[in-house]
Amino acid sequence: MKDGVLPDIAASPFKNLSKSKMSFEEVFEHIIQFMKKEPNANYRLIVGTDSQVHQRHTVFVTGVVILREGKGAWGCILPIKIKRKYNSLHEKISTETSLTEQVAYLFDEEKKNQMIDIVLPYLYRGSSFTMEGHIDVGLSKKSLSRFLASEMMARVESIGLEPVVKPESFVASGYANRFTKYPEKYI
């Protein structure tokens, strides 16, 4: 990878606490199997990215979580280390949003339809499936990133995801965030 250039997301390894290298196809298969175990449920497929600027590099971590509301979740991360510091808040948040978009694009129409087909027979019993893009920006007056919220939300919405911001954007601001602090453990 060249300094400061994002890698090919589709070829990058995903990981979680039980498996250190997964292709996107393996990630998708885990999601499908998780949903098939209990198809009569409410599912939220959530993608969100957070970052941490370190002394000589910036770590971006994209979380992918399939949440079965009230009944568990399965998740993984895509950690990326860029060999430069991102000093501009706009550039950092924009790159986080770009990574969220790129990972979400891996869930093409065929994959989305496979997930929808799992819950479809149970829709009249209350099942559902939604896709969300969690953005690490807040709308409160205290938030330094609030002036970026409209732009990032529009970007996420334009690719078919429901945009979610702080404090509800837990995949970006909670799950992915915890892996950005000590990158030597995860990258």
Instruction: Tell me the CATH number at 72.
Output: 3.30.420
Most confident range (mean pLDDT) of 38-42, 56-60, 178-182 is 38-42
Kindly report, residue by residue over 67-104, the tens digit of the pLDDT: 999 999 999 999 999 999 999 999 999 999 999 999 99
Q: Is residue 6 part of a domain?
A: no
Count CA within 13 A, CB hemisphere, residue 7: 16
Residue 60 belongs to some domain of the structure: yes
Confidence at residue 1, expressed as pLDDT on a 0 to 100 scale: 44
Mean confidence (pLDDT) of the chain:
93
The rounded distance, in Å, linking the Cα atoms of 15 and 45 is: 17
Say if CB 34 and CB 66 are below 8 A apart.
yes
Range of the domain at 129: 14-185
Candidates 68, 82, 73, 58; CA nearest to 7 is 82
In a domain, 4, yes or no: no
Helix/strand number for the chain, H first, E second: 6, 5
Does a structural domain hold residue 153?
yes
pLDDT at 81: 92
Residue 7 belongs to a domain: no
In a domain, 40, yes or no: yes
User: Is 156 within 8 Å of 105 (Cβ atoms)?
Assistant: no
User: How many domains, in total, are found in the chain?
Assistant: 1
User: Per the domain annotation, does 3 fall within a domain?
Assistant: no
Model confidence over 94-138: pLDDT tens digits? 999 999 999 999 999 999 999 999 999 999 999 999 999 999 998
Decide if pLDDT at 4 tops 90: no
CA separation for the pair 63, 85 (Å, rounded): 21
Helices 24-37 and 109-119 pack at an angle, to 10 degrees, of 10
Indicate the DSSP class of residue 29.
H
Q: What is the pLDDT of residue 144?
A: 79
pTM over 0.85: yes
Q: Is residue 2 in a domain?
A: no
